[in-house]
Chain A
């Protein structure tokens, strides 16, 4: 399944993952919050509303990630998800599918990277979501785990 559409700015959303987000045991419920309340944009906060256990057994009280709508920076970005994921997320209509990439922020900001290897796949209609785990290596898949932000002409 493909999402060959113009990218959408990120709006406020509640997400329910079908599986724990990798690395965070118990992380299933998330709020997507635009950085400026009420203003859809490229970047947003992804805040987990569950209490989470790290793999060492330690509890994490706050899990917040910076996410982005990847199509704004990588115009040909797309992933092909498998049948199991299509079924689990109820994505029989491709128009319901949206992608978020987790940002790895750096200082300066233009040195940040985004995880294009393993995006979060969302059913926009229902909020059902999951992080995509490719069955192939980064080289075979074609999109890296740490994709550098494309050059910004104004910098």
Chain B
């Protein structure tokens, strides 16, 4: 991993058109970064994406191959429960 030392207000250019700016550093260690990038570049918090990734994998592993009938009847019951309360539509 490339490590660079920057001061508040200094920038890093990544590729042609992504600019990172160190906006502020607080005494409790929080760093505020500014990111300028073309709008088609997705920017996500890594830990958010990691949790979603893990939950997707866990859900896939837990998905039963059989037992379809139980889900079908549960789903039908919940759909009917909703229909029975038209005021919430």
Please give the residue numbers on chain A whose beta carbons come within 8 Å of chain B beta carbons, in ascending order: 6-7, 9, 19, 21-24, 35-36, 41-43, 54-55, 63-66, 68, 72-73, 75, 83-84, 102-106, 109-110, 115, 117-118, 131, 133-135, 137, 145-146, 152-154
Are B55 and A115 touching (Cβ within 8 A)? yes
Q: How far is the CA of A118 from the CA of B58 in the complex (A)?
A: 14
Once A and B bind, how many residue pairs between them come within 8 Å at the CB atom?
A: 108
Question: B47-83, CB under 8 A of A: which get 1 and which 0?
Answer: 0110111111111101111001011101111110110
Which of under 10, 10 to 19, 20 to 34, or 35 or more describes the interface residues of B? 35 or more
Are A115 and B59 touching (Cβ within 8 A)? yes
Please give the residue numbers on chain B whose beta carbons come within 8 Å of chain A beta carbons, in ascending order: 39-40, 42, 44-45, 48-49, 51-60, 62-65, 68, 70-72, 74-79, 81-82, 88-89
Q: In the complex where A23-B56, A109-B71 touch, is A137 in contact with B48 (Cβ < 8 A)? A: yes
Q: How far is the CA of A40 from the CA of B57 in the complex (A)?
A: 26
Q: In the complex where A35-B68, A35-B72, A154-B77 touch, is A84 in contact with B59 (Cβ < 8 A)? A: no
Are B48 and A134 touching (Cβ within 8 A)? yes
Are A64 and B60 touching (Cβ within 8 A)? yes
